[in-house]
Amino acid sequence: MIIGGGRKQESVSRNIKREVVSPLLMYNSPPDGRLEFDEFASVAIERFSILQMFETIGARYMKGGNDYLSKLDTELRKLGFLKTILCSSKDTPIDEAELNKDIVSHFILRLAFCQTEELKRWFIQQECDLFRYKLNRIQNDQAIIEKFLQDNDLLYVPITDSEKDGIMDSLIEMGGSPNVIKNTHYFKINFLEVLDLVKTRRVLVKKGFAYVTIADFGSVLTHVFRTRLSKSLATLSRHIKEIEEDQRISDLLKILRERDIGENYSDTTARDHLTAESLDSHSIKSFPMCMRNLHEALKSNHHLRHYGRLQYLLFLKGIGLPLEESLKFWRNEFSKGSISVDKFEKEYAYNIRHSYGKEGKRTSYTPYSCLKIITSHMPGNNDYHGCPFKHFEREFLKQKLKQYGRSQDETNQIMDHADSNNYQIACQRYFEFAHKTEEIVPINHPNQYFEQSMRLINGNNRPGRQNPNQSIKMEHIKIEMTQ
């Protein structure tokens, strides 16, 4: 894939060749052709927000259930994505432009998300859900499924009649009528390929093999999709250096990765002015767990170590605690411990001013995003920084959740997400429970958590950062790119 610079040439739709004419894509090979840079950025961002939407909706509704599917239908319609699939009539010709966009955007995001395990896992999960969704919407189209199998060398061979006789009794036990079973093809595959069927006992399992019919192939295909995607990402991450040599691409990728496009919370001028005294009550009502934990640790130990200090300090700055208040707050806490006011002025005050851009290079530092908190600097002994959903011991996290007023049921729901490594979704659920709100508020940034909380508590709909699905601003990207 070549990415053009300069003058606008032709659009994605005419210039990229796609792999197969079917909306169900395995993305085996990157498209050939030339792509205008503007378009490169815009399709990438569009797909990114679609994946975010899958994540958000998947956290709220049971995946694969009717609510889930219809919610996705509506949202995708709004965004004008996957028009062909959403069209009920089977004879609608496949929109090539749409397919191309699908392919191109997928490959761009691969670049952005292949670097760390955390990013990869997120990307794979959302792409699998998207794949599954497509599959669900075209599952009755035997032709497409068969073509897909062929195109991807998935040559499954049905078991022989005598093999079938061997498992006949079990198949009947599962509710099949002998006649139907006789006329259905069964495929013998490793049970690992159909975990969701195994999990719910919807498939016969014998000696490590599952016996599935074509109707069960949704699970099989999603598994294949997942495996292949994670393999290609692994390979890709080894080559990422070469790709990133293009400054513009690497900038775009950086933005996508940070996942908090739209605002970086480093400019505090427009925000409310908080006082040091108000932090106690805010920490209970409106801080995400990571920050509440730091606040409490500071209050009881009268000290925080390096990374904890940074994480908390910058957060406080971001929510609108002015420099003077911040100095007062830290001085006050530290002096209750073993650090004299004198020592504080010498060793710590400078850094606090520095982080507000008042000393040294005068750069204003940006508060950490969730992703940064989750992926960098593993906390060690006596450290309190990090994200509780990722870094706390499970039992301790449970205790904390209870202590913070979450019911057993809420705790379980939150733990489920934390256990499946969806830390931010765990946090999102925590937010919903803590604020007793039905609204879906994806959490990408502790400061955003705070602002959303203030918005709900104060009951004003002053636009904080809304759903990031809408808040991704093209202009922002463009400015970043042209600098």
Partner 1 sequence: MPENTTIDDNTLANLLPIYYKRLFPIYNMCKWLGYSEVQRENFHRREFSFTLKDDIYLRYQTFNDYNEFEKELLKRCPYKIDIGGIYNQIPKDSKNWTHGVLAVEERELVFDIDMTDYDDVRYCCSGSGICNNCWPLMQFALRIIDRALEDDFGFEHRLWVYSGRRGIHCWVGDETARKLTSQARNAIAEYLTVVRGGENTAKKVNLNYNMHPSLRRAAKIVSKGFEDYACNKQNFLGDDAKLSKFLTLLPQECRDEFGDKMRVGKTSSDRWKIFQNHYQKFTSKKVKLSQNLVDEIMFQYCYPRLDIEVTKGLNHLLKSPFCIHPKTGRVCVPIDVDKLESFDPLNVPVIDEICAQLERCDMINLDKKIKDYKKTDMKSYVEVFEKFIQRLEKTWKGNNLKQSDLKGMEGDF
Annotated binding site: 290, 370, 387, 427
Please report, as a single letter, which amino acid is at residue 40.
F
DSSP label at residue 214: G
Q: What is the nearest approach in angstroms of ligand SF4 to the Cβ of residue 367?
A: 11
Answer yes or no whether residue 204 interacts with partner 1 by CB under 8 A: yes
Query: What is the SS3 assignment for 454?
Result: helix
Give min distance, CB of 200 to partner 1, in A: 7
Residue of the chain from 11, 13, 42, 116 that contacts partner 1 (CB under 8 A): 116
Give residue 361's identity as a one-letter amino acid code.
Answer: K
Q: Quickly list DSSP for 216-260.
A: GHHHHHHHHHHHHHHHHHHHHHTTHHHHHTSHHHHHHHHHHHH--
Of the pair 149, 240, the CB lying nearest partner 1 is at: 240
**List 67, 419, 460, 474, residue binding partner 1 (CB under 8 A):** 419
Name every residue whose Cβ is closer than 8 Å to that of residue 305 and which is 6 or more positions away in sequence. 382, 383, 384, 385
- CA-to-CA distance for 314 and 207, rounded, in angstroms? 56
Binding string, 376-395, against ligand SF4, x = CB under 6 A?
-----------xxx------
Asked if 288 interacts with ligand SF4 (CB under 6 A), we say yes
Dump the DSSP string for 174-209: TT--HHHHHTS--EEEEGGGGHHHHHTT-SEEETTE
Q: What is the rounded distance in angstroms from the CA atom of residue 203 to the CA atom of residue 196?
A: 9
Among 9, 92, 160, 170, indicate the residue that binds partner 1 (CB under 8 A).
170
Q: Which of residues 440-459 bind ligand SF4 (CB under 6 A)?
A: 443, 446, 449
Which residues are annotated as part of the binding site for [4Fe-4S] cluster? Answer: 290, 370, 387, 427
Among 326, 355, 424, 471, contact with ligand SF4 (rule: CB under 6 A): 424
Contact 216, 197 (CB under 8 A): yes
Q: Which stretch binds ligand SF4 (CB under 6 A): 49-57, 253-261, 333-341, 369-377?
A: 369-377
Per partner kind, with CB cut-offs from 5 to 8 A, the member of partner 1, ligand SF4, none near residue 26 is none
Distance of closest approach, residue 208 Cβ to partner 1, in angstroms: 3
**Interaction partner, residue 217 (ligand SF4, partner 1, none; CB < 5-8 Å by kind):** none
C-alpha torsion 464→467→469→471, nearest 10: 0
Residues at the contact surface with ligand SF4, assessed by CB under 6 A: 288-290, 370, 373-374, 387-389, 423-424, 427, 443, 446, 449
